Amino acid sequence: MGIESVFPKTLFRVLGIGIKDTVFQTWIVMAILAALAILASRRYRLWEPRRWQLLVEYIVEYVENLIIGTGGRAIPEIVPYLTTMISFIAIANLLGLVPIFQAPTRDLNTTLALSFVSWGSCQYYSVKKRGPVGYLRSFVEPVAFMLPLNLLGDVSRILSMALRLFGNVLAAEIIGAVMFMLVPLLAPLPLNMLGMVTSVLQSLVFTVLTLVFVIDSMGSQEDTSD
């Protein structure tokens, strides 16, 4: 395991398009989430829930409390979205701890895609809650000459979220590779334990930032068109 293994590389080509290992690993994470969702929907039961069901309910309840604690009110429509986001990023980060696999979030393209999803959700919920007119008006609030700064703020959010997640995951992968080369017998266990904590933490940070931006894009209850 060398430093060069940390960086994305092309695994195969489809119709002349190179498929990187990070793309393939992203497909694996998507397949895991889809399989878990299908199994959970078929095996869910109201009475005497299994342990895995309690775990799922805990994650959903945690997200609900996170929304209430951040926004001061319950917003049920964004619970499935944020639960999926935190689960996807956590599994993607934890995938790097599995032998022969690496975290797809070590690729800037992956984190940029996640950032664009986060940004797109802000625009969607802003239009849904404020209405088209209110959405456009939000770019010139509190005064009209704030338009360039508000647009710049949107772009900076995309870049900062993508670079933050990418930088943290890549740094962890590089440190792990270096430590494994130096002390291959002692490094794996403590690094894996630390990696599990940081992987979940990074997924939480990204999700909380998305939540803050979504709540901000929705505006106050008085600003909505409902």
45-57 pLDDT per residue, tens: 777 777 778 888 8
The pLDDT value recorded for residue 136 is: 85
Give residue 184's pLDDT.
65
pLDDT band at 172 (very low <50, low <70, confident <90, very high): confident
Question: How many domains does the chain fold into?
Answer: 1
Question: What is the rounded distance in angstroms from the CA atom of residue 213 to the CA atom of residue 154?
Answer: 10
- Residue 22 scores a pLDDT above 70: yes
Quick one: which of 159, 149, 77 has its CA closest to 118? 159
Q: Does 131 map to a domain?
A: yes
166 vs 66: CA distance, rounded Å: 24
Helices (H) and strands (E) in the chain, counts: 6, 2
Torsion angle defined by CA atoms of residues 38, 42, 43 and 48, in that order, rounded to the nearest 10 degrees? 130
Handedness of CA 143, 148, 153, 154 (dihedral sign): positive
pLDDT tier at 226, thresholds 50, 70, 90:
very low
Q: Give how far Cα 100 sits from Cα of 1, 25, 134, Å.
A: 10, 11, 49
User: Does residue 163 register a pLDDT over 50?
Assistant: yes
30 lies in a domain? yes
Residue 158 counted as domain residue = yes
pLDDT in tens, 189-213: 676 677 788 888 899 999 999 999 9
Is 104 inside any structural domain?
yes
Structural domain includes residue 223 = no
Q: What is the pLDDT of residue 117?
A: 93
Under 8 Å between Cβ of 105 and 166: yes
Report the Cα–Cα distance between both ends of the chain, in Å, rounded.
56
Q: 82 pLDDT exceeds 90?
A: yes
Is 224 inside any structural domain? no
Q: Which domain holds residue 171?
A: 3-218
Q: What is the pTM of this model?
A: 0.84
Give domain status of residue 129, yes or no: yes
SS3 18: strand
Q: What percentage of residues in the chain have a pLDDT greater than 70? A: 89
Residue 226 lies in a domain: no
3-class DSSP state of 161: helix
Residue 188 in this model has a pLDDT that exceeds 70:
no
Does 166 have pLDDT greater than 80?
yes
